[in-house]
Structure 1
């Protein structure tokens, strides 16, 4: 729902390169213990052909393919998936995942690949703490209604949220640690709704490359009695200038994450009603009277914009959405009311 392109101090493109160094530390002469390259080297030594050739390809040209897998943006990752699949079939290696009882599981080969890009180990490591702090994504970028915060009791970080793999790590275990494949998100979006659904930038918007906010806006369809009850709908409608693939990809995200049905809950309707109540109490003509009030020659509220911020608790600047719970809802209300 909300686009993120920069972390706390650096744009994502630079953070992705830094992340590669964090995962793959090296001295002047060799890769250090625990690095991805060292894990690959161990498998090259221990494996027989054609597995040895497969793992060796990741290390060629100073780990060129390995670096691309960790740092490439989604559109490049989709090309890399095709390349890796071509390499696998050319070497006549087994598939990395299979279906069992209607669910995707890792094959033995898939488990071996996953052991290189071990997300489970990473999730409990300080490297994960570094990534999440650097990303600076405090609100779920999918729904914008739950925080993705960390706490540190006794100095040990605890992350009170999920990390979504946009591309399923079971189907693509070599993408388990790819920078643009790791999206801090709430449990509801990641597990309750997304689960094992197959996502692709061809079919769904991606919060690191798409501005869903510019594609869709919240609309409110209250009847005449909306001030007295909650009998109205909160919907997501396309903006007038949006069409083509952006529209269909945005709609697919809405459908698969249940965004409209979630926002129909009364907790969100009550917030909308609360703000509409303020609008009805302070129409712009009355707001202007408040704006003109001065104390000691100074205006308390400088303009209608400041009035909205103070009295209606709305978000007027789209850049503030990413740091505000229900920021998109409040921003769309500010432009609606």
Structure 2
């Protein structure tokens, strides 16, 4: 999982803008409530917590949601329905041009690859004419069916690819005590990709991607929940290419490139690695290319990257 630094200027600005743009829109939706009980419910329990609900930390928003959930009951109650109506995710992700929406949030977050798997591109594309074309999906870290209050909360909207959001994570219950959270946990050093040779025909190219962790329960739960090892084993062709590079060229391959083929280009080691292998070697840039962590771990194991 990629770590999204909540203290970075980009994320702080995105959170601030999310609050400023969304809060007035939500007040308009609250004003449209007709049922007396729902109006009373919002006036006495929701409005005073609205800023926290929109932009509070993961700990803060789940605390508010748990306290409110005691009152709303099952999805058939009027309170549940009113929450779902006001904090309506489908309304938020609509391709409208005249108000703030999920496309604007995705553009501010600027996560080019999936936060959960780092396998797929998740670019946001808005045309020069402001036409909203594509964006990452948003996974609700805290399931929005169980926590309807958090359907639009900044730290509950995790930019992800459709496979991770819809096919893998969909409906799974993650908690801060049982699973890592991308805005809280930086686990880059707590797991490594490796590989082994296998005779089992299930594994293409006779290669298996292995995932090694430090046995942190939250990390292990996340890896199993998102089926990271299984999904990465669909990409042994990338593994094969890196192993072939090691076998085909000497250990001085990159040095030779730097001193002869690329002589005069004044490229840094990081730039050479990116050109040759399509990988960033500093974790702060992992999000910019798919498979960054995977490729770097394998290249280190092969001795290509020191």
- Name the TM tier (shorter chain): 0.7 to 0.9
In 2, Cα distance between the equivalents of 1:217 and 1:189? Answer: 20
Residue of structure 2 in register with 1:254 after alignment: 223
Q: How large is the RMSD of aligned CA atoms in angstroms?
A: 2.8
Contact 2:23 2:51 in 1 (8 A): no
Match of 2:111 in 1: 137
In structure 2, distance between residues paired with 1:305 and 1:52 = 57
One of 44, 53, 56 as aligned partner of 1:72: 56
Aligned positions of 1:218-297 closer than 5 A: 218-222=193-197, 230-238=205-213, 242=214, 247-265=216-234, 268-285=235-252, 287-293=254-260
Structure 2 unaligned segments of length 5 or more: list them.
none
Contact 1:291–1:303 at 8 Å: present in 2 too? no
CA distance in 2, matches of 1:284, 1:303: 18
Where 1:4 maps in the other structure, the secondary structure is coil
**For the structure 1 residues 179 and 12, does the alpha-carbon distance in structure 2 shift closer, same or farther, using more than 3 Å as the test?**
same
- CA gap of 1:48–1:304, structure 2 versus 1, over 3 A, is closer
Counterpart in the other structure of 2:157: 182
1:223 is displaced (CA, Å) by 6.4
Distance 1:134 1:312, change over 3 A: closer
Alignment of 1:189-228 (within 5 A): 189-222=164-197
SS of aligned partner of 1:262: helix
Describe the shift of the 1:287–1:170 C-alpha distance in structure 2 as closer, same or farther (beyond 3 A). closer
162-171 or 12-21, which moves further after superposition?
A: 12-21
Q: What's 2:147 paired with?
A: 172
Unaligned runs of 5+ in 1: 26-34, 89-93, 98-105
Alignment pair present for 1:315 and 2:259 = no
* 1:36 matched to 2:29: no
Selected match of 1:47 from 24, 28, 35: 35
Give the TM-score normalised by the residue count of structure 1. Answer: 0.77
Matches of 1:216 and 1:250, distance apart in 2: 8
Match of 2:11 in 1: 12
Tell me the distance in 2 between the aligned counterparts of 1:132 and 1:181: 13
Give yes or no for contact 1:205–1:250 (8 Å, CA) kept in 2.
Answer: yes
Q: CA deviation at 1:273?
A: 1.1
**Aligned mate of 1:95, from 73, 89, 113:** 73
Deviation at 1:222, TM superposition (A): 3.1
| Structure 1 residue 334 corresponds to structure 2 residue 299 | yes
CA spacing shift, 1:138–1:292, aligned 2, 3 Å: closer
TM-score (norm 2): 0.84
Cα 1:161/1:133, change in 2 over 3 Å: closer
Question: What do residues 113-156 of structure 1 show as CA deviations (whole Å, max 9, x unaligned)?
Answer: 11111111111134222111101011111011111123346641
Task: After TM superposition, give the deviation of residue 192 of structure 1 in Å.
Answer: 0.8
Whole-Å separation in 2 of the counterparts to 1:252 and 1:42: 42
Q: Secondary structure at the match of 1:134?
A: helix
Cα distance change of structure 1 residues 294 and 14 upon mapping to structure 2, 3 Å threshold: closer
Q: 1:261 to 1:288 in 2, by over 3 A?
A: same
Higher Rg:
1
Q: Tell me how far apart the structure 1 counterparts of residues 289 and 261 of structure 2 sit (CA, whole Å).
A: 31
1:32 counterpart residue number: none
